[in-house]
Amino acid sequence: MTAPDGSTFDPLLDLMVERVVHVSPERAWAAWTDPDHVRQWYAPAPGMISECEIDLRPGGVFRFVPRQPDGVENPITCCYLEVVPHHRLVWTDALMPGYRPSPTGFFTAVMTLEPRGDATLCTTVAMHRNATDRNHHADMGFHDGWGTVLDQLGAYAPTM
């Protein structure tokens, strides 16, 4: 199977969610790449993002701290691998900023934005090294979580 960005999607290793967001790719890009915007929509409600740091370049940091309603926080630090303005972001938790190996990473995310008239198709793919990691990510609620987050992006982006 081919993913929207032309890469090979492996259903045994990858998970994917898509949503149409009723804003331009430029506005969707701003929502994905500005820490102030990311904090507004990136955690499934009623959770929130308490901190966000972005150094938008290959090797740069994408760090965010989801906070659950009970106050539990789970800091996540990723490294950007590819940055194509208004079209594609690739990041991984398998590497730390500066491409330093991470001891705990298990996925690489590919996010693409494709114009659809006055809207944008936003696709996120999580790639995993093995089926165990993929299934664990699915069991953690990947589809519901990412689906909720992309729905929140769709509600937030027009108001930016």
The pLDDT value given to residue 1: 54
Pick the CATH number of 14-159 from 3.30.460.40, 3.40.1390.10, 3.20.20.70, 3.30.530.20: 3.30.530.20
CA 10 to chain centre: 18
In which element (H, E) is residue 39 found?
helix 35-41
Structure tokens at 37: 């915007």
Cis peptide before 58 (omega within 30 of 0): no
**In the prediction, which pLDDT does 103 show?**
92
What number of other Cβ atoms are within 10 A of residue 79's Cβ? 26
Contacts of 55 (CB under 8 A, 6+ apart): 61, 62, 80, 97
CA-to-CA distance for 6 and 90, rounded, in angstroms?
14
Contacts of 25 (CB under 8 A, 6+ apart): 86, 87, 113, 114, 115, 120
Give pLDDT, residue 8.
Answer: 79
- pLDDT at residue 68, rounded to an integer: 94
Residuewise pLDDT in 10s, the chain (160 residues): 555 555 678 999 999 999 999 999 999 999 999 999 999 999 999 999 999 999 999 999 999 999 999 999 999 999 999 999 999 999 999 999 999 999 989 999 999 999 999 999 999 999 999 999 999 999 999 999 999 999 999 999 999 9
Which amino acid, 63? R
Q: Determine the pLDDT at residue 4.
A: 52
pLDDT of residue 7: 66
